[in-house]
Structure 1
Amino acid sequence: MRFVHWSLSIDPDNGEPAYAAACVTCDDASGPSADKRAPELWCLRHAGRTGHTGFRATITSHFRATPLEGPRPP
């Protein structure tokens, strides 16, 4: 056994990030979208219809952990 350093990065093999928004007043939500403008537009329309002005934005992406190779101690 040996200690291994790891690196964490965005996983390019798991698709693009998904963007979503939810109203913090009524919990209505936009649903996920690959285009961040769709939830932004949903927020503006929801605000216009309801007068609700607070929203929670969520961006979902995937990470991949990869071991970093280096010299082994003697």
Structure 2
Amino acid sequence: MTRTLRHAAWTIGADREDPAPSARFILCRDCETQSEPSTSQAPTDRWALKHTGETGHRAYRELVIANLRTYPAAGNPLEQSEEDW
């Protein structure tokens, strides 16, 4: 069944149906090398600190990959039927 609700409230968050852990990595903005992906922040932070010590590079970008899903918010007519999804 397909329904279009243009003026209904929705939320977005972690996918409860496919709760795969988030993967994160850090990319050096100076040379574009990157850390290995990790499900926790500490290993990628250590990589960036080590990379700074070895290269002097100080500009990084953290990228996080996570499964997300939208859900009906309070007051959305589909809120009660969410278990049917």
TM-score (structure 2 length as normaliser): 0.68
- Counterpart pick for 2:13 among 3, 6, 9: 9
Using the TM superposition, name which of 41-50 and 30-39 deviates more. 30-39
Match of residue 60, structure 2, among 39, 55, 63: 55
**What RMSD, in angstroms, separates the aligned Cα atoms of the two structures?**
2.1
1:60 deviates by 1.3
The one-letter amino acid paired with 1:30 is S
**Percent same amino acid among aligned pairs?**
29
Of Structure 1 and Structure 2, the greater strand share is in: 1
Is residue 33 of structure 2 the alignment partner of residue 28 of structure 1? yes
Shift of 1:31: 2.2
Asked if 1:66 is matched to 2:33, the reply is no
Structure 1 residue ranges, 4+ long, deviating more than 3 angstroms after superposition: none
Hey, what's the Cα distance between the residues in 2 that align with 1:40 and 1:29? 11
Q: Which runs of 5+ in 1 are unaligned?
A: none
Q: 1:56 deviation in Å? A: 0.5
Take 1:31 and 1:22, find their aligned partners in 2: how far apart are those partners? 10
Residue 45 and residue 66 in structure 1: after superposition, are their counterparts in 2 closer, same or farther (change >3 A)? same
Kindly tell me the number of residue pairs found equivalent between the two proteins.
70
